[in-house]
Chains A and B, each alone.
Chain A
Amino acid sequence: MDQPRVIVIGAGPSGVRCAQTLVAAGIRPTLIEEGRRDGGQIYRRQPESFTRSYQTLYGDTASRAQSLHSDFDALKSQIDYRPETLAWNIVDRTVYAVKSGLSTPLPFDALVVCAGATDRLMPIPGWDFAGTYSLGGAQIALKAQACSIGRQVVFMGTGPLLYLVAAQYVAAGATVVAVLDTSPFTLRVGALPKLLAQPAALAKGVGLVAALKRARVPLHSGVTLIEIAGTAQDGVQGVVFEDSKGVRHRVVCDAVGLGYHLRPETQLADLARCEFEFHADRRLWMPKVDGMGRSSVKGVYLAGDSARVLGADAAEASGRLAAFAVLQDQGRTVPADQVQATERTLTRIRRFQAGLNQAFPWPHAQAAALPDHAVVCRCENVTAGELRHVVHQMGAQEANRAKAFSRVGMGRCQGRYCGVAGAEIIAQASGVPVELVGRLRGQAPIKPMTIAVEDPA
């Protein structure tokens, strides 16, 4: 049988399990990874010279991390693995990948995009000061470099990652001066039925909060974040917030970790011309996929957090399912029992994740409360007031129109960190429902690419 050319983009949990499943079926996929090492974000590997144990790095998920890493190490010789390689464009069933300034076209019969996710951010005044990091960034500093982002850290935002990173910092000996959650505590109670779909995960979350309390870290929920105080020259100096009773507090700190769950990395799906749909429960645009990861484009599959943000276990499961979909569509048989078991796992996880989303919602109304002087687009330094100006004075009611007039989303990050909040601001300023504001699309190259790039052909 002719070998189909299969490309997997991303060597995180979904990409690795996808590649592994393909190899087990006798296929030798190409696996493209932008970073130096496999593992993705949550299971990010430390440099080879580091000595901390899996237990120290990954806590309760140590065995899953170990399994993923060692399975990948064993897999490497059976795949065409290309690290430090960026997929920068996709055209005519060909991935264009650049490494060390050389771009190579890689034609495919099937493409599985496992590009993961980034933190989802809601701006507040001062979030552009040096010393503000995403929750994921703070976690990477610890996990991959054994550093704390500062001497006195405040973690704020909402979502399970908020408590996970804070607890990891405490366990590693860093000083966490406060954890500030915008979601009221009562929402967790209401979400309990869904959260019970995965009792072990729920228990873990409860344990994280307990660990923080034991360490006497001040925890506040239902907060309104007012601002990150600091100076342009020296960066973060403190955080001002209102607690759930409306009392204003100021906390001294030199670093902030900020984040509100995750948002999928969808730029490659855009380049592949996948159709998108708006998910009202998360107020996020996501690429359309069927239950096994097939996108609207024949031969293009999406897995892991870049398709649906459901966490690392779901990423592994959906990576396997996407591989099964590839095999099915190539006319090969797949083990029905494994497919069904994986689908059942995902169903449970979806319910749990819906509970997390209910317990820790994206505080979209904060966008309206954002003062005009707050920076929305970090790359281009565009404020909420400037964005509102193009809505009110220039009639921009749609994300790309507002981008053309205000420059929000025109920076190096292509709107990864300003896009979702920008849409909320446009919606509130224009009175147009956020779904109709639309979304910013990924454009090639999806990350900055050197002009010195060459085509060896």
Chain B
Amino acid sequence: MSTMDKSRYDADVVIVGGGLMGAATAFFLRQRGRSVILLERGLIGQQASGVNFGNVRRQGRFLPQLALANRSRAIWGRLPELLGEDAEFLATGHVRICYDTERLGVLEEYANAARPLGLDLEILSQQALRKRFPYFSHEAVGGSYSPIDGHANPRLAAPAFARAAVRAGARVVENTEIESVEKDGEDFRATATDGRTFRAPAMLITAGAWGGLLSEQFGEAVPMAVHGPQMSVTEPVPYAIREVCGVFTTIEREVVYCRQIPRGNVIIGGSTRGPAFPDIRRAYTVPTSTMSQMAEIRRMIPALGRLNIIRTWSGIEGYMSDGRPIMGPSGRVSGLFYAFGFCGHGFQLGPGVGDVMAELIDTGSTSTPIEPFQMARFAAPVAVAEGVDE
């Protein structure tokens, strides 16, 4: 970034969207000495960042995403030192089981391909699975175990990053809805519904399911769908399942996962997704989804059938058409950056995304490969609109 007349700006970087991606980036920008304003329509971490399952897993990711996931995992382990709190992250291990031998073969192939990329997985035969994790149903034919993956509390993570960012000098502005974003000459300007404006030479859009409403103002529309994850939680019961557990399958209905916290509640997610209503920022659990989730979670771990669920909830997640997030520089506007649309698998990546985006914005490049997530992959071959900076 060039030297600038600082009095023109409110900060070096304006970040629009106060979920985990925005809060983590704000924190890491401060570590690099960059001033930052983080703008959030509601409260930090209220949307997908705060209501997701809480999986901190690398296993199962699209292989080109592992470098980013590894970088993020390293940060999860350092949260107490970085933020002064741990967001209840526990490296309990993560087990994926499967119901047929073909799937087990796929797990083995994945483990072999992931090993050189820094993810060490242990494939478990049916016998090994029954011995090591006897609570899985006998329908499981085997599994894949990732020892240092784990889980954390999504309600706490983004707010923890934001508070640390504030202590480090970031300006966090909540209850501020940004209506329009634009680049005016060298300056980015975000304008709130109440007329306040925020200016900076660089802008990062981390507005999650609403990211497309902002990117399209720069001529970069995205094919994003929104879905409501279906989450349930049990009453607290004696701590008996340490690992995060999930089913590896191609059948959507069967994709369920659970994690027990030391307090005793078991959080459950997956099976069929529900609708989400981003215009009114509401999403609801769907009874038929709850029913299939209950059936499939019993199928994975039968003993869970003894317990009661005490509430369910949903949220609003943005899914890109190719299942990969948007992350990196704008394809059209210099000084503009994006990190949104994480397709329901962004929580573990959050700290890493923050670190990478801060590095990218601060220095112009990042050591972690993020080419597969470029916004430019959605560029339509149309004429450039007038007035847009290249």
Binding site for B on A (CB under 8 A): 89, 91, 94, 96, 103, 105, 394, 398, 401, 404-405, 411-412, 414, 443-445, 448-455
Contacts and interface: CB of A to CB of B under 8 A. Distances in A.
Given A405-B156, A405-B159, A412-B235, A451 B287 contact: no
A401 B304 CA distance: 29
Interface in B290-315: 290-291, 294-295, 297-298, 304-313
Contacts of B310: 411-412, 414, 445, 448
Contacts of A451: 234, 294, 297-298, 304-309
Contact of B291 (A94, A103, A448): A103
Contact of A443 (B50, B156, B311): B311
B55 interface: no
Contacts of B52: none
Contacts of B46: 401
Contacts of B290: 89, 444
Contacts of A105: 287
Most buried by A among B163, B284, B287, B294: B287
Given A449-B308, A453-B294, 17 more contacts: A89-B285, A91-B287, A103-B287, A105-B287, A394-B163, A412-B308, A444-B311, A445-B309, A445-B311, A448-B308, A448-B310, A450-B308, A451-B298, A451-B307, A452-B294, A455-B288, A455-B291
Given A412-B235, A448-B308, A89 B50 contact: no
Interface residues of B, number: 30
A197 to B, nearest CB: 41
A449 B297 CA distance: 14
Contacts of A94: 287
A449 B78 CA distance: 38
16 contacts: A89-B290, A94-B287, A398-B43, A412-B235, A443-B311, A444-B311, A444-B312, A445-B310, A445-B312, A448-B235, A448-B309, A451-B297, A451-B298, A451-B305, A451-B306, A453-B294
Nearest to B274: A91
A454 B287 contact: no
Contacts of B50: 404
Contacts of A453: 291, 294
A412 B309 CA distance: 9
B287 A96 contact: yes
Contacts of B297: 451
Nearest to B154: A404
Nearest to B50: A404
B46 to A, nearest CB: 8
B286 interface: yes
Contacts of B304: 451
B325 to A, nearest CB: 25
B155 interface: yes
Interface in B26-79: 43, 46, 50
A89 B287 contact: yes
Contacts of A449: 308-309
Contacts of B306: 451-452
